[in-house]
Amino acid sequence: MFAAAAARAPLKALRRQGRLGHQVLRGISSFKPMMGQIKDFLLADIGEGIAEVEVLEWSVKPGAKVEEFDELLKVQSDKAATEITSPYEGTVVELMVEVGDMAKVGKPLCRIEVEGEAEAEASADASPTDAGETTAKGTDSATESAPSSSVDTDFKSGKVLTSPAVRRLAKEKNVDLMMIAGSGPKGRILKEDVLKFLSGAAPAQTASPTPPTKATPKATSTPTSAPGSTQATIARPSMPARSAEDQEVPVRGLDRIMVQTMQAAHTVPTLLYSDEFSVNSLVRTRTQCKPHAESLGVKLTYLPFIIKSASMALLEYPKLNSHVNEDCTSFVMKGAHNIGVAVQTPAGLIVPNVKNVQDKSIIEIAADLGDLQALGQAGKLTKDQLTGGTFTISNIGTIGGTVCKPLIVVPEVAIAALGKFQAVPRFDNNDNIYKDTIMNVSLSADHRIIDGATVASFSNLWKQYLEHPETMMIHCK
């Protein structure tokens, strides 16, 4: 016994001095250091078929001290942007990937030296959990499993935000984490929260965060000439400096995702169909309903009417609300109408979707659109809001243009593009000329499973609902 203790003493001394390397520890089958162990921090398997993410930004540098739940980096998948946080306390030793790199699932993001009790909790976190965090096992039995990255709510939609150790504690105590309000950063549930809940002193429920509002820009005064001056100063617009040199721009972030989406779209033989919709009655209806929506705190645009009428037409032609498999041997007609709409964000154009439109009123759709736009501007859209779409509407007309060929968002089978509202002269049945307001609607459909007659019939019904909004009231559920 004394001999064994004597053999371990030099090892402990070397470890405290930082001279015992990670490779040496692998050869000691029964030794678990109590401080200073260097761990490879792996990118977790985040599901949805995602195999890699792009590193957008590191929030730490080598040598930085981090605590549990501190943000380490921001990443972008083909679904959403999110933060990756640390599950324990320690010191960042090395960054294994750089900004702009594509990090692979199961590969190291960084190396962290874990100390004291934080390391012990990290060891408890090493087993896979039902929350989706996974870890990579070492090749030697003496090596503890490297913990995988802790991914924020964008990748864990529908799951409570906490660490694997807290989940295990809750499971052992038979506690439903959904019943506990977290006191940690971003509402994370900490170990203390579970213990308080068990003792009957559960933390108070916190209110759901409200979508951020845009700040009103401050008015700026225009400088004027001094009194008595003989010559006024003319403000000339500054022109952007032009570079005579070529610039190579790497494809990053949402641009990289657009490349993948468009490559998939071009594998689909596409049918294009276009028609004019008269929107005079829609303009009047929206004008009448707008004050009531404002009294409810909802901004009512034309888009909620367009989305709802499209959903009602999809009820009659459900084939256009389908997902097709990769080799087009089968397709699934989706029961939910999750209609995607483009939202401009600081990072670029993204397409979240309004869920279950078939069950919602126009005012509910308008409220959902407002939430999606606010969250998009703040960069806080979740994976759930960005995935699962069944039919897409591109409102390109708000920028300009009349007719275009929208590209299908695979595995969806149809997409519509809305042109701008424009006043045009038209003739009535008695050849009298009158002013009409029209909107061009362009439809693209997967011609492998959808024929032109089906697309035309769908478009005609959609047109009928929008040109006569009162008919929507009769059929609306």
CA distance linking residue 84 with residue 74, whole number of Å: 6
CA distances (Å), 392 to each of 195, 314, 325, in order? 46, 12, 18
Q: What is the 3-state secondary structure (H, E, C) of the chain?
A: CHHHHHHHHHHHHHHHCCCCCHHHHCCCCCCCCCEEEEEEEECCCCCCCCCEEEEEEECCCCCCEECCCCEEEEEECCCCEEEEECCCCEEEEEECCCCCCEEECCCEEEEEEEEHHHHHHHHHCCCCCCCCCCCECCCCCCCCCECECEECCCCCCCCCCECHHHHHHHHHCCCCHHHCCCCCHHHCECHHHHHHHHHCCCCCCCCCCCCCCCCCCCCCCCCCCCCCCCCCCCCCCCCCCCCCCCCCCCCCHHHHHHHHHHHHHCCCCEEEEEEEEECHHHHHHHHHHHHHHHHCCCCCCCHHHHHHHHHHHHHHCHHHCEEECCCCCCEEECCCCCEEECEEECCEEECCEECCHHHCCHHHHHHHHHHHHHHHHCCCCCHHHHCCCCEEEECHHHCCCCCCCCCCCCCECEEEEEEEEEEEEEECCCCCEEEEEEEEEEEEEECCCCCHHHHHHHHHHHHHHHHCHHHHHHHCC
Q: Rounded CA gap, 44 and 53, in Å?
A: 11
Radius of gyration of the chain (CA): 29
- Distance (Å, rounded) from C-alpha 315 to C-alpha 310? 9
Please, are residues 128 and 135 in contact by the beta-carbon 8 Å criterion?
A: yes
The C-alpha atoms of residue 193 and residue 189 are separated, in whole angstroms, by 6
Q: Which residues are catalytic?
A: 447, 451
The alpha carbon of 459 is separated from its chain's Cα centroid by a whole number of angstroms, namely 30
